[in-house]
Amino acid sequence: MPMAKRGRWLGRALTVLAASGGALPALAGEAASPGVLTFILENDIFAGFDEQYTNGAFLRYSPSPDALPQWALFVRDQMSGFVQADTWRVTYGLGQAMFAPSDITLRDPPLDDRPYAGYLFGTVALSADTGTRLDTVALDLGVVGPPSLAEQTQKLVHRFIGDDPKGWDTQLPTEVAFRVVYEQSHKIGAALGPEFWGLEVDAIPQATVALGTVDTSLSGALTLRAGRSLDMDYGPPRVRRSLAGFAAVDKQAPEGWYVFVSAEGRLVGRNLFLDGATFRDSRSVDSETFVPELAAGAALRLRGAMLTYSHVFRAPEFETRNGWTQFGSLSLQIPF
């Protein structure tokens, strides 16, 4: 199965990345709880479409909390002036995202549609969790263009699910790209009591700042949840945009579940996948300055593993796009 093969390839690469981080000399403390392995798959085929943001895959590993390499200790010391957290966690990840125009059967797509683009990237992040507040700083570094392998990935998948995409010769050119992200989330919740079957509810306001050639933006979001054991995370993980999923679940936490709805508004300064190459001429479209987004879904925690599905509705991201796009996001977290 193609997705399984891709997952194994990403897993081998991530093992090397995580091992290199774990080999750094200064580790602080003993492992207090297990690490967490997370796989996230986003695809517009979940919504019955095959256009725009067509696929994203991300594999990440979070070692035990407070088992911090030297660089993370340095970042923690810089952050300690404005956040006093009980739990600090490092995350290493490897991901791929791909974007395509509305009609993938055309060898020369219209210039007013979004260009073909792929992004293969690695992530390193540090999160600080107080129990009701999560601060995360992350660095993405990767490559756009043919080395991203997006063309090969999409064509492999389309051998089984649909028409062969023909326009990858027009994709964005090769470019090393990056972004630095800071995100802060707060959790405000309450238990409803026995008359409501012991359900819990909470609200998670969230602010995110991103700077870089990949994405320069400022966004605010609000997630509303209802369920049991809501303290197990800060909401559903996603490949891009939100970093809340970096607060990995703890194997000793109780089993639980929740349903959620969320709304986000994003002010966009730059989106490489729409605005085109940073230092060269390329295809591009005029990106929208403000992009709202809505999502709904559910999460289930069972025997230490957690399965989450989000269905996302995103407003047009560029001026010549008509109508909202949809895609699904499926994630699996496993103590490891």
pLDDT at 242: 47
> Are the CB atoms for 167 and 221 separated by under 8 Å?
no
Mean pLDDT of 316-323: 89
pLDDT at position 235 over 90: no
Q: Which residue has the tokens 């600080």?
A: 128
DSSP string, 75-87: HHHHHTTT---SE
- From 299, 327, 281, select the one nearest 229 (Cα to Cα): 299
Domains of the chain, each with CATH number or no CATH = 2-21+33-335 (2.40.128.140)
pLDDT band at 17 (very low <50, low <70, confident <90, very high): very low
pLDDT at 45: 77
Tokens of 185: 């989330």
Total Cβ atoms within 10 A of residue 212 = 18
What is the pTM (predicted TM-score) of this model? 0.84
Total Cβ atoms within 10 A of residue 49 = 15
> Are the CB atoms for 248 and 36 separated by under 8 Å?
yes
Report the DSSP pairing between strands 175-186 and 188-191: unpaired
Residues 56-89 pLDDT 10s: 899 999 998 867 899 999 999 988 888 888 889 9
Alpha helices in the chain (DSSP H): 2-22, 70-79, 150-161, 272-275
